[in-house]
Structure 1
Amino acid sequence: MVRYAEPGTVEWVESDGGPLIAVPETVLPFWSGADGDDLASDYDRACEIDTAFGLLPVGDRTALVLGDEPAATAYLPEHGTLVRWYAADTEAELLAGARDALTTADWTDERHWNVPGPVVLFDSAWPGTAPARTDTLRITLAAGHYAVRSAVRPGPEIWAGLVHLRRLDEA
């Protein structure tokens, strides 16, 4: 796999060309990726998401698909935000621009996602049980309901996608 994001401050996940997906750990075995005997695989369903994000049923839960384009993606837990690397010379520039954009972004409408706990972000072409899958990111989320919204931080030199996860049922 070719890596576009450089090693640095945060861990980046990349795909081989398809969308990334965040599947709850509890239902990972139910994600078949591009495998399967059906006319439309789970991967095909994920590829139908042509917006910044979408939700797909997996087992008795729902996974978050990062559509739009297969950009390297990292999670900033202190901001509850997935950052998608569309264009920047360095990781430091991208992360600084993304953090600045969190307060000024033009966010999309929210969708709600019920999360049973930690999720695993990976290339949606892989089955959830693939032992050889190495490009993954485990995201520790508390069980609960989350509002999900997205924005793009466009610019001539720094261009980042943002997918913000905000827990709705915090005490």
Structure 2
Amino acid sequence: MVRYSESGVVEWVQSGGGPLIAVPETVLPFWTGADGEENASDYDRACEIDGYLGLLPVGDSAALVLGDQPASTAFLPEHGAFVRLWAAESEDEVLAGVDTAITSAEWLHEVRWEVPGTVLLFDSAWPGKDTDRTDCLRVELEPGRYAVRAANVQPGPETWLGLVQLRRLP
């Protein structure tokens, strides 16, 4: 995990260059990452997602792909949001800007995601069965339907963030 301050308030996950993916824990063994046929791997499918986010079938569920560009990413449960660090001086600067970022965001894209429970966020190149060998972040979610939306924001003069917010639907 990458930490941007000595306090290590939140855990950050990075990718080796491709998209990050949030895979439901129940279907982790079905995510094969970059393993597989040439140009037909799960990683290739994740790289084909156009825009800030998208869903891919995995087993009998779906995984959430955080697209656009690789970025250190954390999950802030109090905001129900993944925070993607495009640029900032420190973790403290990022965290100080999240409230403003969420309230001022112009949300660009939204999908509906049916979640069976806890998901793991990790580099989409890794197979799900190997998440114990790479940086990953366990995000505990209540089973159910979520509206997932994305935005890019600049909460400070030198701070640029991507947001992916999950809102539980009734």
**TM-score (ref. length: structure 2):** 0.93
The one-letter code sitting in structure 1 at the alignment partner of 2:169 is: L
Task: Report deviation, 1:95.
Answer: 1.5
For 2:15 and 2:93, locate their aligned partners in 1 and report how far apart those are by CA, in whole Å: 22
Q: Is the 8 A contact 1:126 1:133 kept in 2?
A: no
Going from structure 1 to structure 2, the CA distance change for 1:131 and 1:56 (only over 3 Å counts) comes to closer
Give 3-state SS (helix, strand or coil) of 2:103's partner.
Answer: coil
Alpha-carbon deviations, 1:63-122, whole Å to 9, x = none?
A: 000001110000000110000010000001011112211111101242100000000000
- Which consecutive segments of 4 or more residues in structure 1 shift more than 4 A? 3-7
The answer on 1:79 being equivalent to 2:79 is yes
Q: Is the 8 A contact 2:3 2:10 kept in 1?
A: no
The answer on 1:153 being equivalent to 2:169 is no
Task: Report deviation, 1:156.
Answer: 3.9
Gaps of 5+ in 1: none
For 1:16 and 1:86, locate their aligned partners in 2 and report how far apart those are by CA, in whole Å: 15
For 2:110 and 2:40, locate their aligned partners in 1 and report how far apart those are by CA, in whole Å: 28
For 1:18 and 1:79, locate their aligned partners in 2 and report how far apart those are by CA, in whole Å: 25
Q: Is the 8 A contact 2:86 2:160 kept in 1?
A: yes
The one-letter code sitting in structure 2 at the alignment partner of 1:159 is: W
Aligned residue number for residue 93 of structure 2? 93
* RMSD of aligned Cα (Å): 1.7
Q: Is the 8 A contact 1:5 1:72 kept in 2?
A: no
Which structure carries more strand by proportion? 2
Instruction: State percent identity of aligned pairs.
Output: 65
Give 3-state SS (helix, strand or coil) of 1:35's partner.
Answer: coil
Aligned residue number for residue 42 of structure 1? 42
Task: Report deviation, 1:162.
Answer: 0.3
For 1:70 and 1:50, locate their aligned partners in 2 and report how far apart those are by CA, in whole Å: 13
For 2:121 and 2:15, locate their aligned partners in 1 and report how far apart those are by CA, in whole Å: 10
**Size of the alignment, in residue pairs?**
168
Q: Is the 8 A contact 1:121 1:136 kept in 2?
A: yes
Which structure carries more helix by proportion? 2
Give 3-state SS (helix, strand or coil) of 1:137's partner.
Answer: strand
Aligned residue number for residue 140 of structure 2? 140
Task: Report deviation, 1:131.
Answer: 5.5
Going from structure 1 to structure 2, the CA distance change for 1:97 and 1:29 (only over 3 Å counts) comes to same
Give 3-state SS (helix, strand or coil) of 2:129's partner.
Answer: coil
**TM-score (ref. length: structure 1):** 0.92
For 1:11 and 1:110, locate their aligned partners in 2 and report how far apart those are by CA, in whole Å: 25
